[in-house]
Amino acid sequence: MPRFPGTPFRDDLFEGQVALVTGGATGMGRSIAHAFAAHGADVHILSRNEEHLADAAASIEKETGRKVAWHRCDVREPDQVEAAFAKLPRLDHLVNSAAGNFVVPFETMSRNAWSTVVNIVLNGTFNATRAAFPLLSRQGGTVTNMVATYAWGAAPYVSHSGAAKAGVLNLTRSLAVEWAQFGIRLNAVAPGPVKSEGATKNLFADPALQQKIEDSVPLRRFGTPEEMALAVLYLASPAASYVTGDCLTIDGGQWLSNGLFS
């Protein structure tokens, strides 16, 4: 079997463990699901779209030789989330990667546009994390939340996403403290620009904008879904056993680069 691109980890790192990835059928979530499977975990993926789920599961199974279970589920719907988690035999690692986003000036944003993104990102993270607790607390485990570097800065024209990601980051820290007693570690990953299908289509389809973004990154390129997935694996692994409530920024230095002379 081909190794996961760029991995420094043992292939059996998560042998005997179960990982669930929301938004795991496409983009970054799919890469995270693939990475867990490639390192021995039994993987479950959640998405709204059955076709995407079946396609992702089949291709991850082909690449890793491991079975991937999928559940059609809208993370905004608590009943659907509870039903999906009820099917799990155990759970060691939850990754909240489901997201929705589009560029819209705040003054023209409809109520429904605001609540759609906040419901997916913030309430979806609540729903999945709440449903995961009974399973995770049995033997301990990890929750990793995908945020964005604008979670602690400003998110002009994606203010719904910025507000929601800021909420998720704060929730990550609150629960890191509350759930330490159960052996559950919670961390966040803040990717910089990554050309996932969703982000490219909804945020930076224009090639001129892509160039501008590249120029704003000290490492002068977009990140890859695989680079984000490896960060998630690190946080879920025993190598990060004393890391909780933290946010790992993986953005080629972009958020630091607005200096007067840079």
**Closest CB to ligand HXC among residues 18, 164:** 164
Q: Print the binding letters for residues 33-72 with ligand HXC: x by CB under 6 A, - otherwise.
A: ----------------------------------------
Among 198, 214, 246, 247, binds ligand HXC (CB under 6 A): 198
At residue 29, φ and ψ (nearest 5 deg) are: -60, -40
Phi-psi region of 16 (alpha: psi -120 to 50; beta: other; left: phi over 0): left
Q: Which of the 8 DSSP states describes residue 150?
A: G
* Size of interface with ligand HXC, in residues (CB under 6 A): 18
Tokens 């989330």 -> residue: 81
The least distance separating ligand HXC from the CB of residue 262, rounded to whole angstroms, comes to 19
Q: Which of the 8 DSSP states describes residue 4?
A: P
The strand pair at 68-72 and 42-47 is best described as parallel
The least distance separating ligand HXC from the CB of residue 202, rounded to whole angstroms, comes to 4
The least distance separating ligand HXC from the CB of residue 209, rounded to whole angstroms, comes to 12
Catalytic site includes residue 234 = no
Q: Which of the 8 DSSP states describes residue 218?
A: T
Tokens 């509870």 -> residue: 82
> Could you give the residue numbers annotated as active site?
150
Q: Can you give the binding site for ligand HXC, defined by CB under 6 A?
A: 99-102, 104, 110, 112-113, 116-117, 148, 161, 192-193, 198-199, 202-203
